[in-house]
Chain A
Amino acid sequence: MIETIATPKTSTGKSLRTEEMIVNMGPQHPSTHGVLRLEVVLDGEIVVDVIPHLGYLHRCFEKHCEHMTSYQQVIPYVDRMDYVAAMTNEFAFVVAAEKMLKIEVPERVHYIRIIMAELQRIASHLIAIGTFGIDMGAFTPFLYYFRDREKILELFEMTCGARLLYNYMWIGGLSHDIPPQFVEKTKEFCTDFKKTLKEVNDLLNYNEIFIKRTANVGILPKDLAVNYACSGPMLRGSGVNFDLRRDDPYTLYNKFEWDVIVGKGEMGTVGDVWDRNIVRQREMWESLRIIEQAIAGIPEGDVQKAIPKRIRPVPGDAYGRIEGPRGELGFYIVAEDNVTPYRIKARAPAFVNLSVINEISKGAMLADLVAIIGSIDIVLGEVDR
Chain B
Amino acid sequence: MTAQDIHDILKLQFTDAVIEAKLENVVDPFIKVRTDMIKEIAVFVKNDERLQFDYLMCLSGVDYKGKLGVTYHLYSMVHHHKIVLKVEVPTETPDVPSVESVWKSANWHEREAFDLYGFNFAGHPDQRRILLPDDWEGHPLRKDYQTPEFYNGMKVPY
Chain B contacts for A317, CB-based, 8 A: 27-28, 30, 71
B58-A63 in contact (CB<8A): no
A187 interface residue (CB < 8 Å to B): no
Chain B contacts for A355, CB-based, 8 A: 104-105, 107-108
Q: How far is the CB of B106 from chain A (nearest CB, A)?
A: 9
CB closest chain-B residue, reference A229:
B105
Number of interface residues of A (CB under 8 A): 35
B77-A318 in contact (CB<8A): no
CB closest chain-A residue, reference B107:
A355
Of the residues A63, A321, A384, contact of B57 by C-beta under 8 Å: A321
CB contact list, A212-247 vs B, under 8 A: 224, 226-229, 240, 242, 247
B131-A316 in contact (CB<8A): no
B103-A102 in contact (CB<8A): no
User: Known contacts being A60-B140, A319-B58, A332-B73, is A99 close to B27, with CB within 8 Å?
Assistant: yes
B6 interface residue (CB < 8 Å to A): no
Of the residues B55, B57, B77, B104, contact of A347 by C-beta under 8 Å: B57
A328-B57 in contact (CB<8A): yes
B60-A345 in contact (CB<8A): yes
User: Known contacts being A102-B27, A228-B104, A319-B28, is A330 close to B58, with CB within 8 Å?
Assistant: yes
Chain B contacts for A163, CB-based, 8 A: none
Of the residues B54, B58, B104, contact of A332 by C-beta under 8 Å: B58
Chain B contacts for A332, CB-based, 8 A: 58, 60, 71, 73
Chain A contacts for B71, CB-based, 8 A: 317, 332
Main secondary structure of the interface of A (DSSP, over half): mixed
- Show the binding face of A for B, using Cβ within 8 Å: 54-55, 58, 60, 62-63, 99-100, 102, 224, 226-229, 240, 242, 247-248, 316-319, 321, 328, 330, 332, 334, 343, 345, 347, 351-352, 355, 384-385
CB closest chain-B residue, reference A224:
B104
A352-B105 in contact (CB<8A): yes
User: Known contacts being A229-B103, A343-B62, is A63 close to B140, with CB within 8 Å?
Assistant: yes
A347-B58 in contact (CB<8A): yes
A226-B77 in contact (CB<8A): yes
Chain A contacts for B58, CB-based, 8 A: 319, 330, 332, 345, 347
Number of interface residues of B (CB under 8 A): 31
CB contact list, B47-70 vs A, under 8 A: 54-58, 60, 62-63
CB contact list, B28-59 vs A, under 8 A: 28, 30, 54-58
A226-B60 in contact (CB<8A): no
**How many angstroms between the C-alpha atoms of A55 and B60 in the bound complex?**
18
B154 interface residue (CB < 8 Å to A): no
A228-B105 in contact (CB<8A): yes
Chain B contacts for A351, CB-based, 8 A: 108
11 contacts between A and B (CB under 8 A): A55-B130, A58-B131, A62-B141, A99-B27, A228-B105, A316-B26, A317-B71, A319-B57, A330-B73, A345-B58, A355-B105
B57-A227 in contact (CB<8A): no
Chain B contacts for A328, CB-based, 8 A: 57
**How many angstroms between the C-alpha atoms of A100 and B26 in the bound complex?**
9
Q: How far is the CB of A101 from chain B (nearest CB, A)?
A: 9
Q: How far is the CB of A28 from chain B (nearest CB, A)?
A: 17
CB contact list, B133-153 vs A, under 8 A: 133, 140-141
Q: How far is the CB of B148 from chain A (nearest CB, A)?
A: 14
A227-B104 in contact (CB<8A): yes
**How many angstroms between the C-alpha atoms of A58 and B136 in the bound complex?**
13
1/0 per position for B64-94, CB-CB distance to A under 8 A? 0000000101000100100010000000000
Q: How far is the CB of A242 from chain B (nearest CB, A)?
A: 6
**How many angstroms between the C-alpha atoms of A328 and B28 in the bound complex?**
18
Chain B contacts for A54, CB-based, 8 A: 130-131
Chain A contacts for B116, CB-based, 8 A: 62
**How many angstroms between the C-alpha atoms of A317 and B26 in the bound complex?**
8
A58, A240, A328, A345 interface centre (most CB from chain B within 10 Å):
A345
Q: How far is the CB of A123 from chain B (nearest CB, A)?
A: 26
